[in-house]
């Protein structure tokens, strides 16, 4: 079993895509299919047999929501990096022997406990520093054909990134520079090039590098070990950043509720 940290920082500002829906409140508390977005994520972690405890960083718990696995909440910090590191340090205070932790974004409400259990079981077959979840384009578009996600085309596969990953718990203290590089590179192509190296970027542009080789190269440059996890669940990468994505996921959740009720 592994502990989990739900990263829930972020308040959409005026001019940002989700502001008309959130209207200045935490994105994690945005109501979707009758519940705050983060509640769906917390319920999935509560249902997961392989999750021992949960920390929430960046947003308060929804009113009247009680989860037995939630052991602590931490206020929003200055940025995503600070939220992740604060959560991991708090985790080590509570569970000094924790070896790995599941990092979960609060904006993937379609995940389920079974999906989380699959991820923990799959990652813990080896002992890497970082496990990065990806979803194949064909899997994402089969489930959410109108999601309009961004994909990376490699020699052997075309993927988008997932929003639930597993990392070694002690990386919060041992490898601060690694986190800074990863966060800084998320949406900046030039910083991504610096992170992976121009030689690797060249191969990537030519589509002559495989997923495993790309992960190995990046991990080596950051002096860590890593492994890509190809998830069969599109829900792990279906984060909500724009109104059309909100509508897609809400329709999915409502349909799921109907099926459970036998309607």
Task: List, in order of start, the domains of the chain with CATH numbers.
Answer: 2-260 (3.90.550.10)
pLDDT one digit per residue (tens) for the chain, 263 residues: 999 999 998 889 988 999 999 988 899 999 999 999 999 999 999 999 999 999 999 999 988 888 999 999 999 988 888 888 899 999 999 999 999 999 999 999 999 999 999 999 999 999 999 899 999 999 999 999 999 998 888 889 999 889 999 999 988 765 566 666 666 655 444 455 555 565 666 666 667 888 888 888 878 877 889 899 999 999 999 999 999 999 999 999 999 999 988 76
pLDDT of residue 167: 92
DSSP for residue 72: E
Q: How far apart are CA 121 and CA 90, in angstroms?
A: 24
DSSP for residue 221: H
State the Cα torsion 196-197-202-205 to the nearest 10°. Answer: 20
What radius of gyration do the chain's Cα atoms show? 18
pTM for the full model?
A: 0.90
- Quick check: 146 and 59 in contact, CB under 8 A? no
pLDDT of residue 187: 47
Four-residue CA torsion sign, 44, 37, 139, 165 = negative
- Quick check: 124 and 192 in contact, CB under 8 A? no
């Amino acid at each position: 079993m592994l502990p989990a940290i739900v990263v829930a920082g972020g308040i959409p500002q005026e001019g940002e895509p989700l502001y008309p829906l959130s209207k200045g409140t935490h994105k994690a508390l945005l109501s979707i299919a009758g519940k705050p977005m983060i509640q769906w994520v917390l319920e999935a972690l509560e249902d997961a047999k392989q999750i021992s405890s949960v920390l929430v960083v960046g947003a308060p718990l929804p009113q009247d929501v009680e989860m037995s696995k939630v052991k602590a909440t931490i206020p929003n910090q200055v940025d995503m990096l600070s939220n992740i590191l604060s959560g991991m340090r708090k985790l080590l205070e509570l569970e000094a022997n924790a070896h790995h932790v599941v990092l979960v974004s609060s904006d993937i409400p379609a995940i389920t406990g079974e999906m989380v259990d699959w991820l923990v079981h799959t990652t813990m077959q080896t002992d890497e520093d970082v496990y990065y979840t990806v979803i194949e384009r064909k899997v994402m578009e089969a489930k959410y054909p109108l999601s309009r996600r961004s994909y990376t085309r490699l020699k052997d596969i075309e993927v988008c990134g997932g929003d639930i990953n597993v990392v070694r718990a002690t990386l919060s203290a041992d490898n601060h520079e690694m986190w800074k590089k990863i966060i800084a590179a998320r949406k900046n192509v030039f910083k991504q090039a610096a992170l992976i190296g121009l030689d690797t970027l060249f191969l990537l542009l030519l589509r002559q590098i495989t997923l495993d080789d790309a992960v190995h190269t990046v991990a080596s440059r950051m002096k860590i070990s890593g492994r890509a996890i190809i998830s069969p669940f599109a829900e792990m990468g279906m984060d909500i950043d724009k109104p059309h994505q909100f509508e897609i996921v809400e329709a999915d959740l409502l349909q799921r509720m109907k099926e459970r009720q036998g309607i």
